Amino acid sequence: MTQFNRQTFQLSDVAKNSPENAWWSDAVVYQIYPRSFQDSNGDGIGDLRGITSRLSYLAELGVDVVWLSPVYQSPQDDNGYDISNYQDIDPMFGTLADMDELLAKAHELGIKVIMDLVVNHTSDEHAWFKASRASKTSDHADWYIWEDPKTGFTGGEKGAEPNNWGSYFGGSAWQWVPERGQYYFHQFSRKQPDLNWENPDMRRAVFSMMNWWMDRGIDGFRMDVISLISKLHDENGKLRGVNGSLLPEEPAGPDGFSSPSPDCSDGPRLDEFLSEMRCEVFAGREGFLTVGEAPGISGERAEHITNPKNGELDMLFLFEHVDVNSDGPAGKWGRGISHFAETKPSFAKYEQIVKDGGWTSLFVSNHDQPRSLSRWGDTSTEELRVRSAKALALTLHMHKGTPYIYQGEELGMTNADYTRLDQYQDLETLNLYKQITEAGIMTPEEMMAGIKRVSRDNARTPMQWDDSKYAGFESVDAVTAPWLEVNANKATINAQAQMADDNSVFAFYKKLIELRHTNATVALGDWNALETTNENVYAFTRTFHSELGEEKLLVIANLISEESEMDDSISAALAELGRSIEQNDVLISNEDVEALKKQLESGVLKPWTAVVVKVK
């Protein structure tokens, strides 16, 4: 078990079986997208040795856990989320020996390492799938989801697909295999066939693989789209709309498909599968972390899954807040400008999960989302970029839960700012551009604007370590350029400059992480929202009771590039202090105390002012 280089909080016996007593209750997780973090050999792709060389940076930042996006063997159709061998490292990232070295160095620094677990699907080049597609009678025949062509149609022709489900990456969710004479189901790329979790032999193979990695020394898993592993069937075991099913097809949308999500998200056996995993892999182990990516999971279900008494997962990633303004036929691609304050109702639901006995993950960025600063902050000037980056970070990290930082977020990195389609490599982006424009849902110009706002490649540009030619991602004399173009703003946004600046975004993140480690109210205090009349101001309290008494923190953030008036609820909360604020009352802020005094006394907050004040 990896030990942190810090003390955790000691709680009363009353809370012994709650998430608050778990080692991760006051921890911060840092996500690494390996191909974009650090290249050690000049081939333009980040690798394990590169990550190892930068672990001291993460130790300086103060994070407790590193989550690695997939580094397993893969054809890289979906940048490693299509795994062809779970028990080896893809040569582009290194070797198992490199992985062992990374684990040893991280553990030496007191940093835990969790790996991405992708077991809703595999690559179509995985040995399991090759055996499954070869014969209907092989030992692996039903390790995947196979269906016959629709009655009256010939397999492979248009309309013969078993039902009208569409893939999230574009096109049909069914792929014809002539040698087997059936279609297989894939919610994502056609090279990512869904595993059949109804098969107990398949589940045992997955659990065996997970145990192999845990025994090797990793500290847990982040589980990719784990909420999709159980599918809804009718009483005869048939999927919706397939031959003989009692469940009728849903109407198709303008692209000609219906979504599989209602039948594949939070399916009827999800709890059973997760409980079985907990018993078969994690029983008897200590110091691990299990976090599930959970599209389609409600707040109530999240509380059940993450409540320790149910023995499933430690925490989940929920997506309501990042899906704001994604309604409409074009989905996220048609999403307009929004303000972070619009996410307040979503975060209130997440905090209810914690209040009810579960736990929650706190995030605004990851490898599948655009840069949060470009979406919700203001990058029009350097001053506003820094102020808004700090305000967004403070707001997120002052919630109760486990914060996740995506690489470069701690520097205030921004969207890629590409102007041409050929600059993007993301499979989802390229496929959906074709499907949405051909269906007439958006014009090419409208779709390009959407891609610039929300493409996954926005978060996948190389990490900006310095202002050199390739931003320090690889050496300046490297023969091969980085796999994805470096953001042009590397000269002003890079780690080297910020680590030397006490007022930088990096320095601010360090303070936020240290507060979670040292202040019990930040880590474990009860969360309560203030009902503010100004929708652009986000205010809430954190309260912690101990033998020493009660500490109460007031969090105030103006999340817009305009002045905002405070209302009576904030003034009343500030009045608990009984006097004007002093230096020692401010736990953290992106504003100096004298400026804060003027703003709080006048009741008018400057653009992007954010502060945590001790009021009791």
pLDDT digits (tens, 9 = 90+) for 444-485: 999 999 999 999 999 999 999 999 999 999 988 888 999 999
Summary mean pLDDT of the chain: 95
Look at residue 475 in the predicted model and tell me its pLDDT.
85
Which residues are part of the catalytic machinery?
224, 293
Mean pLDDT of 280-290: 97
pLDDT digits (tens, 9 = 90+) for 47-68: 999 999 999 999 999 999 999 9
Look at residue 76 in the predicted model and tell me its pLDDT.
95
Burial class (CB in 10 A: 0-12, 13-18, 19+), 591: buried
Q: Which carries the bigger pLDDT value, residue 107 or residue 331?
A: 107
How many other CB atoms are found less than 10 A from the CB of residue 345? 11
User: Given phi > 0 = left and psi -120 to 50 = alpha, else beta, which region is 432?
Assistant: alpha
Under the banding of pLDDT at 50, 70 and 90, the label for residue 2 is low
Look at residue 6 in the predicted model and tell me its pLDDT.
66
Do 229 and 263 form a contact (C-beta atoms < 8 A)?
A: no
Query: What DSSP assignment string belongs to 62-99?
Result: T-SEEEEPP-EE---TTTTSS-SEEEEE-TTT--HHHH
Q: Is the pLDDT of residue 1 over 50?
A: no
Round to whole Å and give the CA distance between 176 and 109.
Answer: 49
Q: What is the separation, in whole angstroms, between the first and last Cα of the chain?
A: 37
User: Given phi > 0 = left and psi -120 to 50 = alpha, else beta, which region is 591?
Assistant: beta
User: Given phi > 0 = left and psi -120 to 50 = alpha, else beta, which region is 159?
Assistant: left
Mean pLDDT of 25-39: 97
Among candidate residues 548, 605, 544, the one with its CA nearest the CA of residue 571: 605
Under the banding of pLDDT at 50, 70 and 90, the label for residue 532 is confident
- Rounded-to-10 torsion of CA 609, 27, 315, 396: 0
Q: Is the pLDDT of residue 88 over 60?
A: yes
Q: Is the pLDDT of residue 303 over 70?
A: yes
Q: Is the pLDDT of residue 394 over 50?
A: yes
Under the banding of pLDDT at 50, 70 and 90, the label for residue 5 is low
Do 209 and 87 form a contact (C-beta atoms < 8 A)?
A: yes
Do 159 and 257 form a contact (C-beta atoms < 8 A)?
A: no
Look at residue 455 in the predicted model and tell me its pLDDT.
95
Token pair listed for 275:
């409980």
Among candidate residues 517, 505, 511, 524, the one with its CA nearest the CA of residue 612: 511
Mean pLDDT of 521-534: 94
